[in-house]
Amino acid sequence: MSRLRPPVGADDHALGPADAPVTLVEYGDYECPHCGRAHPIVKRVLRRLGREIRFVFRNFPLGEMHPHAVQAAEAAEAAGLQGEFWRMHDRLFEHQDALETQDLVGHAKQIGLESARFARDLESRALEDRVRSDFDSGVRSGVNGTPTFFIDGVRFDESWDEETLFAALRAASQQRR
Amino acid sequence: MSQPLAPDTPAPDFTLHSTPDQQVSLHEFRGRPVVLAFYPADWSPVCGDQMALYNEIPGEFARHNAQLLGISVDGAWSHAAFARDRRLHFPLLADFEPKGAVAKLYGVYREQDGCSERALFVIAPDGRISWSYLSPVGVNPGADGILDALEKLGAGAR
C-alpha cells in the first residue's frame, strides 16, 4: 500500500483546520487537463465538508510531457512567498492555456502581486528546489499520475468523481470522531 | 490469477526487439540492477501513465546504476511511435512473437485479455529476482516500490 512520505508538515500549503478529522492531499500539475477537471470537483468537495477537512496541494509537474508545468508550479510557489499561493493556484487551473512566462507575470499582476519581486522569485533556485522536492516526495509516496490523491496518508485509487471522493472523505472523517 | 516469479528465483533470460532492427537480451545487463516493468499496452489514454512517470525520473534509476526496461505485447513499430510521441528515454521491448512469451515466463500474462499484467520485477546484478510486484491492472503501481527495492539492493551490496 502506497503511503504519503513525508507526512503533511509545516512547509505544506494547506487549507482548513490543522486538526480537521480528515486530510486530503493532492499531487497535481497545472498543465495537466485531468487536474484541471479535478480542480472544481475538489473545490466543491471542500465546500461540502467545511471544517471537517484539511486540503494540501503538492506539486507534481510532469515536465517531460508538459513543457510549462514546472514553471507554472514555480509561479504558484512565488505567489506563495507573497501570501497568495491559493489565489495563483486557482488562477492557473482556470487558465491552463495561458502558462507562458508572460502569462504568469500577467496572472501575478491580476491577483495584485508585486511584479518585480514575482519575476525575480520565479527565477530563484530555492523555488526550483521546492518544486523538485515536492515531486520527489510524490515519487516516493507512490504518485502514479496526475492528479493523485491521498486520504489521511493513504493513496486513493478509486475514481475522483465528486460523489466517490466525497463519500470516501466523509467516511474517513466519521471514523475519526 | 497470475503468479509472478518470486524473489530469489533466477530471472529467466530473454531476447526481444527494442526497435524494428535492434534486439536486447537480459543477460547484457548482468552486473547491474534491472527494472523490468510489464504493462498492458502502449497508448493508454491517461496523462502521467506508468511509462511517462518512469520517464520523469531518470536520475533515480541512474543513481542506482539500474537499467529500466518497459515491456508489453505491442510490436516494435508501435513501441517506436509510442516512445517518440511520449519522448521516452528508455527501451520498450516487444513481447510480440510468440505473443506474450516473456510475460508467460515471468508468470504475468493475462490469457483472457491477451496482454501482460502491470507487474514489476527488480533483478539483482547477479541475475536473481530481488523483488516483484503485481498491481491491479487498472492501477498504475507508481515508482515507490521499485525505488525501495533498489535501495535495499544497494544497502545489501555494501
Whole-number average pLDDT of chain A: 96
CB contact under 8 A, B53 and A143: yes
Query: Domain range spanning residue B149?
Result: 37-157
Which residue in the set A33, A63, A143 is minimally distant from B142, CB to CB? Answer: A143
Q: What is the pLDDT of residue B157?
A: 61
- Reduced to 3 states (helix: H, G, I; strand: E, B; else coil), residue A27 is strand
Q: Does residue B90 belong to any structural domain of this protein?
A: yes
Give yes or no for residue A92 having a pLDDT over 70.
yes
| A157 touches B at CB < 8 Å | yes
| A139 touches B at CB < 8 Å | yes
**All structural domains of chain A:** 13-175 (3.40.30.10)
Give exposure, A132-153, as e/b (b: 16+ Cβ within 10 Å). eebbbbbbbbbbbbbbbbbbbe
* A contact residues 11-50, partner B, Cβ 8 Å cutoff: 29, 32-34
**Residues of chain A neighbouring B147 (CB-CB closer than 8 A):** 139-140
Give percent of chain B above pLDDT 70. 95
Query: Which phi and psi (to 5°) does residue A166 adopt?
Result: -60, -45
ipTM exceeding 0.85? no
Q: What is the pLDDT of residue A27?
A: 98
CB contact under 8 A, B47 and A62: yes
Q: What is the pLDDT of residue B48?
A: 59
Q: Write down the residue that cell numbers 471542500 correspond to.
A: A46
Give the count of domains, chain B.
1
CB contact under 8 A, A2 and B144: yes
CB contact under 8 A, B52 and A62: yes
CB contact under 8 A, A29 and B49: no
CB contact under 8 A, A140 and B144: yes
* Nearest CA-CA partner of A79 in A127, A31, A37: A127
Q: Does residue B120 belong to any structural domain of this protein?
A: yes
Query: Which phi and psi (to 5°) does residue B136 adopt?
Result: -55, 140
Q: Indicate which residues of B carry an active-site annotation.
A: 47
Q: How confident is the model at residue B46 (pLDDT cuts 50, 70, 90)?
A: low
Q: In chain B, which residue's Cα lies nearest the Cα of A157?
A: B139
Q: What is the pLDDT of residue A23?
A: 98
pLDDT digits (tens, 9 = 90+) for B68-125: 999 999 999 999 999 999 899 999 999 999 999 999 999 999 999 999 999 999 999 9
Q: What is the pLDDT of residue A176?
A: 80
| A142 touches B at CB < 8 Å | yes
**Residues of chain A neighbouring B136 (CB-CB closer than 8 A):** 157
Q: How confident is the model at residue B49 (pLDDT cuts 50, 70, 90)?
A: confident
pLDDT digits (tens, 9 = 90+) for B116-126: 999 999 999 99
**Residues of chain B neighbouring A34 (CB-CB closer than 8 A):** 46-47
CATH of the domain at B122: 3.40.30.10
Smallest CA–CA distance, residue A41 to chain B, in Å, is: 18
pLDDT digits (tens, 9 = 90+) for A44-66: 999 999 999 999 999 999 999 89
Vertex A91, ends A90 and A94: CA angle to 5°? 90
Q: Does residue B3 belong to any structural domain of this protein?
A: no
Q: Does residue B2 belong to any structural domain of this protein?
A: no
Q: Does residue B4 belong to any structural domain of this protein?
A: no
* Nearest CA-CA partner of B124 in B95, B89, B91, B157: B157
Give yes or no for residue B137 having a pLDDT over 90.
no
Q: How confident is the model at residue B45 (pLDDT cuts 50, 70, 90)?
A: low
